[in-house]
Amino acid sequence: MVDMVTNRSLLVGAVVLVLLVALLPASVAGADLVTLTVAVETPDGDRVSGATVTAEWDDGTATGTTASNGKVLLDVPTNASVELTIEHETYMKNTPLVIEEPGEETVDMTVRPKGNVDVQVADDAGPVEDALVTLKQDGTTVYSERTVDGTLDNGPVEVGTYTLTVRKAGYYQESTTINVTADEPVTESVRLESGSVTLRVNVTDPYFEPPRALEGITVTVVDEGSVNTQSDGAQQLSVPVNTPLTVRFEGEGYETVERSITTGEEDLSLDAEIDRANTLHVTVHATEVVIGQPAFISVTDEYDDPVANATVRLDGEEVTETDSDGRAQILIEDTGEHTIVVEDEDVTSEEKAVFGVTPATTTAETTPTETPTPDTTTATSPGFGPLLALLGLILAMGVGLARRSD
């Protein structure tokens, strides 16, 4: 009977143990744990009791409260990166204490009294909304938050010396040093001043050697304004300081290009190279082609360079490709209008028309021979007419001379 009770107790114990293991987090059940001793103290070495210390790693946490000696024991995985944070009524630490691959060791966690900083940001028109306020200590950012209604109260910080920086697009950056004490909150008023810088742009086409300056390109700074480049491809415009901007370049026959920049507090330059938009130009060398004969075409790109291996379509059907010189022959088999289109990757040309015609036929026309009108004058002797006329003229001249001599 005793054996049965003993066996039953062992069985119950085994079941409870299995359940406990099953309920443990995977990270704890399967991890190699070590006991980390955390000693919380002030810069003067005074131990801090009653502080809640939390250890946090990728998939787990452990929490404990410091005893009167300022220490707390926490079980943490040895192969993890562990962050230690503290909560206390009087003391705090701005940033977590990070322990890489902790072992059975004691780590000191130095805390300082709490202080408060209130920041008020304004310009000539009043409170400035959404200004970025950054508080740093020894180069480490304690917090970086934005104002609401021109004010920021981000809660307590350690007492000490800080660098306070305020930024907002369109305004000059303001920085100051502040000393935070535990006696009373520090109120810091910051006044911002708006400003602008000169943005100089230079636009060229890189196809040419050297790159060719482009005149008449529209340069748009989004939400700020536009200008057109001059003959040297340059132009300038005023833009706000400390501002992220999008600059757009547009020109007839050219690809639209956008560049992202962030201005500072000094003038800046921006060089932009833009290419002509991909285009196919088709030249039909004769728009009328005798059926059964080929139409000849030449294909060039946006820079008038020949386009090889481009697909040529006649009336929508693929018929051939251009050769290395960008030329192609297209057989015209039917009369009437036909359309030629050329494609190269994702670029399609405009339609070109060619007309198929029948061969020219030559008709021989017979010109009627004109029948001469018969001469009704009867000649006494063939060939004597002109001779008689000449003799008559001589006789007349002789009579005239005789009369003058009388």
Neighbours of 249 (CB within 10 A): 22
Mean pLDDT computed over every residue of the chain: 87
Ranges of residues in the chain whose predicted pLDDT is under 50: 1-2, 4-6, 12, 15-30, 362-391, 395-396, 399-406
Walk me through the domains of the chain, giving residue ranges and CATH numbers: 31-110 (2.60.40.10), 114-191 (2.60.40.10), 196-273 (2.60.40.10), 281-357 (2.60.40.10)
Residues constituting the chain: 406
pLDDT attached to residue 297: 97
Predicted pLDDT of residue 183? 85
Name the pTM for this structure: 0.69
Q: What is the pLDDT of residue 382?
A: 44
CB atoms within 10 A of CB 261: 15
Exposure of 37 by Cβ count < 10 A (0-12 exposed, 13-18 middle, 19+ buried)?
middle
CB under 8 Å to 297, separation ≥6 — which residues? 282, 283, 284, 285, 312, 327, 328, 329, 330, 340, 342, 352
Of the candidates 127, 131, 132, 135, the one whose C-alpha atom is nearest the C-alpha of residue 155 is 135
Contact 60, 28 (CB under 8 A): yes
pLDDT at 231: 97
Which tokens is 291 given?
Answer: 């059926």
Tokens of 155: 């809660």
Of 93, 88, 119, the C-alpha closest to 107 is 93
How far out from the chain centre does Cα 53 lie? 47
The β-bridge partners of 264 are none
Strand partners, 77: 33
Residue-wise over 348-367: b if at least 16 C-beta within 10 A, else e? ebeebebebeeeeeeeeeee
Contact by Cβ (8 Å): 244, 132: no
**Cβ neighbours for 42, distance < 8 A, ≥ 6 positions apart:** 48, 91, 110, 111, 112
3-state DSSP assignment of residue 292: coil
SS3 331: strand
Residue 360 confidence (pLDDT): 79
Residues 6+ apart with CB under 8 A from 298: 282, 283, 285, 306, 325, 326, 327
**pLDDT number for residue 397:** 55
